[in-house]
Amino acid sequence: MLLFPFKVRSQQLPLYSQYMMNKFILNPAVAGSDAYTSINLTAREQWIGFRNSPKTHALSAQTRILGNSYILKRLSIRKKHKANSSIGRVGVGGYVFNDRSGMVSRTGVQLTYAYHILLDNNQLSFGLSGTAYQVKIDKEDITVWDENDLLINNLDNILFIPDANIGVYYSTPQLYIGLSASQLFQASVKFGNRQFESYRLLRHYYLMGGYTVEINDYFSLEPNLLIKTSEIWNFQAEIGAKIYYLKDYWGGLTYRTDRTFTILGGVKIDKFFVGYAFDYDFASISKYSFGTHEFMLAVRFGEKARRYRWLNR
């Protein structure tokens, strides 16, 4: 048996089935891109039925620092002066999260700065995030079979790791395309013994895109695509579409290339958005799991004058 090589895959970053409702959690350049002030709460429980299955909770907030529009001032009867005050180009955001898988949990905070360049009716955005998080291992949950285990005996069960994310985002009224990279520093996770320093965080890349098709006055369709890969080029793709009714109700389907189908839906009530997604895995794990549940609650401010103030150039 020792002569045969074995390869095991695992994930370092959480999945989000409703990422298209809060693209900021995958791409820092989205912060303030639509000029809303948005607060979003996501709760995800993966593989229901497994003890200590992965659980993710995330709270994000992002907005645009808006300036004044061009102001037309009448200096005299015959002369007009157009004063150019600063247009809001800066977006800021924050993101706190807790991701737990078994005895390992990751809790952190992210702060984001974004800059937006207006191109006629289009917009090009750049974003940079600084991240700091704590990795914790619950040692009381470890069953030790070998009392001389070097990793367990030298374990630093709480680690603090700094990191950074970067992204670029292009958007029009109908289209969006974004590319981002996370865990740029690829920090080593040093568990307390030098022979285990080879375990490190991998840089992850996200390419997302979507397009809105207006079917009629009541319905619109939004196909979307997300391609993900790590530094060792393990690709995964999500292909799906959502249909909206009166912009207040939506439903959709997504296929993830790990043989997972997602059904999602939601409703908008005034400034509040409530969404739910159910993942069902058709791989062998489906024999033991009841699927994955994800809930989303969001609130957005600035629907009217605030949102369009920065467009009035």
Structural domains of the chain ordered from first start:
29-309 (2.40.160.40)
Exposed, middle or buried by CB within 10 Å (0-12, 13-18, 19+), for 129? Answer: buried
256 phi/psi in degrees, rounded to 5:
-105, 140
For the ranges 32-36, 53-57, 242-246, the lowest mean pLDDT is seen at: 32-36
Choice between 19 and 158, residue whose per-residue pLDDT is larger: 19
List beta partners, residue 231.
Answer: none
| Residues 29-44: tens digit of each pLDDT | 999 998 889 999 999 9
Nearest-5° angle of CA 34, CA 164, CA 188?
A: 150
| Residues 263-300: tens digit of each pLDDT | 999 999 999 999 999 999 887 887 888 899 999 999 99
Look-up: residue for tokens 């959502």?
A: 242
Q: What is the dihedral of CA 81, 82, 85, 88, to 10 degrees?
A: 170
For residues 110 and 95, what is the distance between their CA atoms, to the nearest angstrom? 5
Choice between 34 and 88, residue whose per-residue pLDDT is larger: 34
Please state whether beta strands 80-83 and 71-74 pair in parallel, antiparallel, or not at all (unpaired): antiparallel
pTM: 0.85
Confidence of residue 23 (pLDDT cuts 50, 70, 90): very high
Cβ contact 226:207 at 8 Å: yes
**76 CB-near residues (< 8 Å, 6+ apart):** none
For residue 72, is pLDDT > 70?
Answer: no
pLDDT for the residue 12: 84
Tokens of 295: 């809930």
| Residues 248-260: tens digit of each pLDDT | 999 999 999 988 9
List beta partners, residue 169.
Answer: 125, 178
pLDDT for the residue 112: 97
CA 95 to chain centre: 9
